[in-house]
A and B are shown apart, each in its own frame.
Chain A
Amino acid sequence: DAKTTQPNSMESNEEEPVHLPCNHSTISGTDYIHWYRQLPSQGPEYVIHGLTSNVNNRMASLAIAEDRKSSTLILHRATLRDAAVYYCILMKGTASKLTFGTGTRLQVTL
């Protein structure tokens, strides 16, 4: 299975942009890049996903490197409610087994 690597933790000030990196050097051509986040005492929730092109939705933006070996989740204006653990995973259409790494714990301060 293709693996992802993320920093253990990051900090941000409220109202500032946050760039959360993810390395996936063994990604294959059919792998989609998905991001999930887990708020305290909750199950993970979907944030965004993409294949090759950059993606935007109401929660965040996803920037994918041209060689697809890395990606960056961008929160444009972090709020205290964005404090969570963010997971980057690779998803294939036929894969049944999805593994999560330890993710990046984002702290947001006033």
Chain B
Amino acid sequence: NAGVTQTPKFQVLKTGQSMTLQCAQDMNHEYMSWYRQDPGMGLRLIHYSVGAGITDQGEVPNGYNVSRSTTEDFPLRLLSAAPSQTSVYFCASRSGGPPSGNTIYFGEGSWLTVV
């Protein structure tokens, strides 16, 4: 059972570079989302998706793009990396069913440093 898989686990970028954080889930979940977590802080929602072809912005969307062409994959693109985007990124997924049996599954995180 793979669950939610994020790659890469660690990445160092130079300011201005672009990159994509990959996220894949094998649970056929409708909902997927990306969070960032700065040191000593809680999780902040970047973007989310309620299904293939549908995405929307969260609390801190600036500087990031997402797309959802398949149910399984939800990549996060950094368009032009800035030091302020140094953070740990978590991908999460959950089913679209009733919340009585609906739990969120998180990936292990991607540690990104922008120098």
Contacts and interface: CB of A to CB of B under 8 A. Distances in A.
A97 B56 contact: yes
Interface SS of chain A: loop
Contacts of A31: 99
B58 A44 contact: no
Interface in B31-47: 31, 33, 35, 41-45
B107 interface: yes
A93 B90 contact: no
Given A44-B43, A100-B35, 16 more contacts: A34-B103, A42-B108, A42-B109, A43-B90, A43-B108, A44-B106, A46-B104, A85-B42, A87-B43, A91-B99, A93-B98, A96-B50, A98-B48, A98-B104, A101-B42, A102-B41
The 4 lowest CB-CB distance pairs between A and B, nearest first, are A43-B106, A102-B42, A32-B99, A100-B43
Interface in A51-110: 51, 85, 87, 91-93, 96-103
A45 interface: yes
Interface residues of A, number: 25
Contacts, number: 66
Contacts of A45: 106
A10 to B, nearest CB: 16
Contacts of B31: 96
B104 A92 contact: no
29 contacts: A32-B100, A32-B102, A43-B106, A44-B43, A44-B92, A44-B104, A46-B103, A46-B105, A49-B99, A87-B42, A87-B43, A91-B99, A93-B97, A93-B98, A93-B99, A96-B48, A96-B50, A97-B48, A98-B33, A98-B48, A98-B104, A99-B45, A100-B35, A100-B42, A100-B44, A100-B45, A101-B42, A102-B42, A103-B42
Contacts of A43: 4, 90, 92, 106-109
